[in-house]
Chain A
Amino acid sequence: MGTITATRLSWSVKGHRLLDSIDMAARDGRTVGLLGPNGSGKSTLLRLLAGLRRPDAGTVHYDDTGLHELHRRVLARRLAVVEQDVSAHHHVTVRQVVELGRTPFRGRFDSLTEHDRRIVDAALERTDLTGKQQRSWSTLSGGEKQRTQLARALAQEPREILLDEPTNHLDIRHQLELLDLLTTLDVTCVVALHDLNLAARYCDHVVVLDHGQVAAAGTPEAVLAPDLIRSVYGVDVLVDREHTTGALRITYLAATATRPVRLSTQATSTCAPTG
């Protein structure tokens, strides 16, 4: 497990500032949830953290090493990325996809070693895919595809893992199982989530993005307050504790009558960003 630190990260496309001076950190096997409505910059932030896009300003550090000093192959041996809705252009089996996770460890002409194969077996087992490993990717359900990508990520033996809405397409049971797995792994996770209740239950720390800025950050209890949710998501909610489990519970009441209009990029956000 390692630490990911982002400092004053900014990114623009064609003059539109999509991320504005983001500070965040994910430490020591914690699970950090990235929250925020569609278009708030969650996926973009994940791409910058993964080094797939170069920030206009700011830095990303893995432990004490700057992202720009890490060779991408070395980075891929510690950081795994699970993207949203990927598609394959030709026939591949589940096992072949998971074996892709060994790419950063293999030489150009090396075949898979016994060690590689054991890791792939373990990743398949962890994601409940052992019996489906010879299935073709194109015949999988959305949830099975998501789990296959997670198995591929686990095969990279990551210390950190970035996931973009991994619970999409999953039924409730697999949503819970996936997040259970993520939080029990000794891996630092940054995970973009839509479901605030799942975030409240599984994340040690949440970062709420709104129009490319950090609207709030902290523990779910501290951050997920009705005022913040109304101002960021435009939804009236009731936040209480479920009386048998004591878990934080967010009940959606209604969309607020007027969704706060998109703030200009330089406008101050309603909640003070925290570091």
Chain B
Amino acid sequence: MTSPHKTAAPTGTALTSRESVPVRRRRASTAALFVLAGTALLVSVIAASLLGSADIRPLDVVSTIMRHVGLDAIAPAPPLPGLLDALVWESRFPRVLLAAAVGMALAVSGAVLQAVTRNPLADPYLLGVSSGASTGAVAVLLLGIGGSISLSTGAFAGGLASFGLLLLLLGGGRVASPSRVVLTGVLVSQFFAALTSVILMVSGDANSTRGFTYWLLGTLGGARWEGVTATVVIILVGVFAIQFFAPALDAFTFGWDSAAALGINVTAARVWLMVLTSVITAAAVAASGAIGFIGLLIPHAVRVLASPTHRTLLPLSAITGAIFLIWVDAFARTAFSPHELPAGVITALLGAPAFALILKRLES
């Protein structure tokens, strides 16, 4: 590192381009990952729409979707009979789309929470944000709080409240240890789960209680176009907005002071990220209940594959999360047909061992 004579700060002229080859290769492989992930998402949407009792070909799915978005002229297959057309367009496709959006939201939320709490074990479900959103949604539905306020708005308020409570308990600006973050998440999540139970028991009849309990486990069964469109739009806008804060999330690597010294407005970035994460988590919970562990599983898997900065991690997590939940949901509705499992049960079955693995890596 020594330089024997007086020189100016490095201006980048001194070196040969010895390192430019690996860097270029790395960028090429990142581009390849995006192409691969995008293709896999497209294939997943179509393949998952096929799965089920009726006999439908892939081209039928493609052309049905094309006909419904006004591309009749170039649709590659003749129209399906009315019943099958309705099955694909009114039932399966919106459900697959919702699964993609929810998976996207939860994976991105997880990646953001991990950076904002500086804790690799963060996930909207584990930290209680999903729990708070559930409470908000149930409160709006059963107690009629706020009159005309929609389910999503209630979920958003609940999600924001639980996120705020979490950060308050973690001591505002200071950096808490991973175990403290997780334990505080348990506390927040149990508190809001208890609130939800109280509201359910006090206000619901037996039927609605059972329906809600199933919804709370996390299921995409309720997907209908009217709700799906709004959810997809909110999540896409939120995920895109979060991408604005990718430099801040990278700068958070060494803490708040370090980020501020790199010119990041730390307070503004943290507040915006908290609001945006609450919005997309709430949109996901309002549509599908509390599906856990995706926020934990997906960003870690992407990190293992590509070790990217947040500029790449966030969009890759979004696409991977979408693919993941599409297939989890496809499995949930077909594996034990005619019975349907809640998707949240499957993600928990996969997520719990992953949590253990990450915990073990964290300790070593």
Which residues of A are in contact with B by a Cβ distance under 8 Å? 47, 50-52, 71-77, 79-81, 83, 86-93, 96-97, 99-101, 103-104, 106, 108-109, 111, 115, 117-119, 121-128, 130, 133-134, 147, 149, 154-159, 174, 177-178, 180-181, 184-187
Contacts and interface: CB of A to CB of B under 8 A. Distances in A.
Q: Which of B244, B258, B264 has the most CB of A within 10 A?
A: B258
B251 A154 contact: no
B250 A103 contact: yes
B22 interface: yes
B262 A104 contact: yes
Interface in B232-266: 243-244, 246-247, 250-251, 253-255, 257-258, 260-265
11 contacts: A52-B261, A79-B261, A83-B257, A86-B258, A89-B120, A117-B20, A118-B15, A119-B10, A121-B15, A124-B19, A178-B1
A54 B2 CA distance: 36
A184 B9 contact: no
A103 B263 contact: yes
B247 A103 contact: yes
Nearest to A99: B309
A209 B133 CA distance: 51
A127 B307 CA distance: 23
Interface in B265-315: 265, 303, 307, 309, 311
A10 B189 CA distance: 43
Contacts of B6: 184, 186
Contact of A181 (B1, B20, B309): B1
Contact of A89 (B7, B22, B118): B118
Q: Which of A108, A124, A133, A187 has the most CB of B within 10 A?
A: A108
Contacts, number: 151
B10 A157 contact: yes
Contact of B5 (A97, A134, A184): A184
Closest 6 CB pairs of A and B: A118-B12, A76-B263, A73-B263, A122-B10, A104-B263, A89-B118
Given A89-B115, A159-B9, 11 more contacts: A90-B120, A100-B250, A100-B251, A100-B253, A100-B262, A108-B247, A118-B12, A157-B11, A158-B9, A181-B2, A186-B8
A119 B263 contact: no
B357 interface: no
Given A88-B253, A92-B253, A103-B262, A126 B3 contact: yes
Contacts of A96: 250, 309
Contacts of B261: 50, 52, 76, 79-81, 83
A181 B3 contact: yes
B41 to A, nearest CB: 22
B14 interface: yes
B9 A187 contact: yes
Task: Indicate the size class of the contact surface on chain B.
Answer: 35 or more
Contacts of A89: 114-115, 118-120, 178, 253
B266 to A, nearest CB: 9
Contact of A186 (B1, B9, B23, B251): B9
Interface of B: 1-15, 17-20, 22-23, 27, 114-115, 118-120, 178, 243-244, 246-247, 250-251, 253-255, 257-258, 260-265, 303, 307, 309, 311
Nearest to B122: A89
Nearest to B313: A90
B303 A72 contact: no
Contacts of B115: 89-90
A127 B1 CA distance: 4
B264 A103 contact: yes
Contacts of A187: 9
B261 to A, nearest CB: 4
A147 B261 CA distance: 17
Contacts of A86: 254-255, 258
Contacts of A72: 260, 263-265
Contacts of A185: 7-9
A215 to B, nearest CB: 26
A129 B50 CA distance: 53
Nearest to A154: B10
Contact of B3 (A90, A147, A184): A184
Contact of A119 (B11, B243, B253, B307): B11
A268 B25 CA distance: 63
A154 B8 CA distance: 11
A134 B22 contact: yes
B14 A125 contact: yes
A97 B253 contact: yes
Q: Which of A80, A100, A186 has the most CB of B within 10 A?
A: A100
Given A47-B257, A100-B250, A119 B12 contact: yes
A157 B2 contact: no
Contacts of B264: 72, 103
A169 B275 CA distance: 40
Contact of B10 (A47, A103, A104, A126): A126
A11 B257 CA distance: 17
A92 B243 CA distance: 19
B263 A122 contact: no
A90 B114 contact: yes
B21 to A, nearest CB: 12
A123 to B, nearest CB: 5
Contact of A122 (B15, B257, B258): B15
Nearest to B13: A118
Contacts of A122: 10-15
Contacts of A154: 9-10
